[in-house]
Structure 1
Amino acid sequence: MKRKFSIGAPLFLTPGDDLRNYVEDWLDEPKDVRRAAADDIDGAVVDAGVMTLRLNAYVTANMVQYFHAIENSYNSKIAGRCNEVRISLNTYGGTVADGFEIVDMVREWNARRDVKISMIGAGAVYSMGVPIMQAAARRYSYPNAEYLIHPVSAILYGTREQIEDGLTSVKNSEAAIVNLIAARSGMSAKEVSEMMRRDSYLTAEKALDLGLIDEIINLDDDGGEEDAAQADRRAQEMRALEIYLTEAM
């Protein structure tokens, strides 16, 4: 039986204790995620050249494996079948390292492949979910999605020197997140840092105002053509994305 701990509170281990006894239950997810990804692609709806996949998971090694499986399916199941892979992302966050592997993987994909990966914020896009969204070619959102930017959390134990080294790692992670969000959103690093000092919950409308997403999906849309202003804004955003991806590589 795993014991719970309070996020943000110090964790003191007694002799004989094992840190693994304190790991949250939500980390114990099903491991056959590659098969799940393959099934998702096989059964995905492709409408107007867009393949939609729906992902609801914590940011762990399992989510990394899901994206690996999508990448491995590119030649056999994606290329030639659609023009865009649109991933509906619902996540409460997870580990920074796994999140950044996904960020780098998606950015590399979009820089090198004709079929781009876009994302839709769905439900909760918390914590590392926000940086992951910034890697998408286009960042959509459902109207009722909620976004959360907050400080990096960590459990540190060991010698004083080890704890100090761990704090350095936490600061480096926060700086990397700030730089990523600032580069894509247009906010200054100072503005993003201020948001990360607390739990900043954002509506889809606020996320759009801050540049964290590009568009809120209109669920009442009748499927008509976009007007000239929308088309012009989309073209400008795609040019900005090309510059962003070129600099990233």
Structure 2
Amino acid sequence: MEMNPDLKAILRRLVEMKEPEIVLRGKVGGEMESYVFWAFAYLRSIGSPDILIMIDSGGGDSDCGHEIYDVIRLYKGKTTGLSIADVHSAASMIMQGCDHRQMTLHARMVIHNPSRSSVSLDTLESSKKHDALVTSLRSYQKALIRCYMDRTKKTEQVIKKQLAQDQPMTAEQALSFGLIDEIV
């Protein structure tokens, strides 16, 4: 996997930090996924120190979000996720991968059912393609529900109801629901 020059510069700064922090800001996608992959590879190479992951994202690609979630979840050092503003959609999944989850008082979290923004007319008009899309989204929904159930200890029905609401939650609501551990 080729690393872009901007990513190299960011990782050099990570190497220089005494207490490592990773900032995930902007759209969840391939660039963020690559950054997380390389940053955590470096962190594992130096003994997996505890790390703060600051998150400010309106969401993005659910597949990338799930992969970032797994990288964080499987990391041996302690991970603390801190939402400094928005932690929506795929970013909320990423937050669940952290050992300890924090939000600032003014931050907002959104969890919702999965969607695909770039669906062609061909997909919608072809029953075979349409069915494949629905199957894919249901599969991802099951993964989301499992993740949220594990972290919140809520039932599948409660999680599904919250996903269907697709509304911003305050830090207090996210704490009450079990999506975070602390308001800072």
TM-score (norm 1): 0.65
Shift of the 103–33 alpha-carbon distance from structure 1 to 2, 3 Å rule, reads farther
Name the counterpart of 2:119. Answer: 156
- Tell me: higher relative CO, structure 1 or 2? Use CA pairs within 8 A at least 6 residues apart: 2
Name the counterpart of 1:9. Answer: none
3-state SS, counterpart of residue 89 of structure 1: strand
> Quick check: which one's helix share is greater?
2
Name the counterpart of 1:120. Answer: 82
3-state SS, counterpart of residue 124 of structure 1: strand
CA deviation after TM superposition for structure 1 residue 56, in Å: 0.8
Q: Does 1:172 align with 2:139?
A: yes
Within-5 A mapping of 1:197-212: 197-212=164-179
Q: What amino acid does structure 1 have at the position aligned with 2:100?
A: R
**Runs of 5+ in structure 1 lacking a partner?**
1-30, 218-249
RMSD of the alignment, in Å?
1.9
**Aligned match for 1:89, one of 49, 55, 63:** 55
Within-5 A mapping of 1:4-153: 32=5, 34-44=7-17, 46=19, 51-74=20-43, 78-79=46-47, 83-109=49-75, 113=76, 115-153=77-115
Moved more, 92-101 or 52-61: 52-61
3-state SS, counterpart of residue 74 of structure 2: helix
**Runs of 5+ in structure 2 lacking a partner?**
none
CA deviation after TM superposition for structure 1 residue 132, in Å: 1.0
User: What is the number of equivalent residue pairs in this alignment?
Assistant: 176
2-side partners of 1:168 and 1:91: how far apart?
27
Moved more, 147-156 or 90-99: 147-156
TM-score (norm 2): 0.86
CA deviation after TM superposition for structure 1 residue 116, in Å: 1.9
3-state SS, counterpart of residue 105 of structure 2: coil
CA deviation after TM superposition for structure 1 residue 32, in Å: 4.7
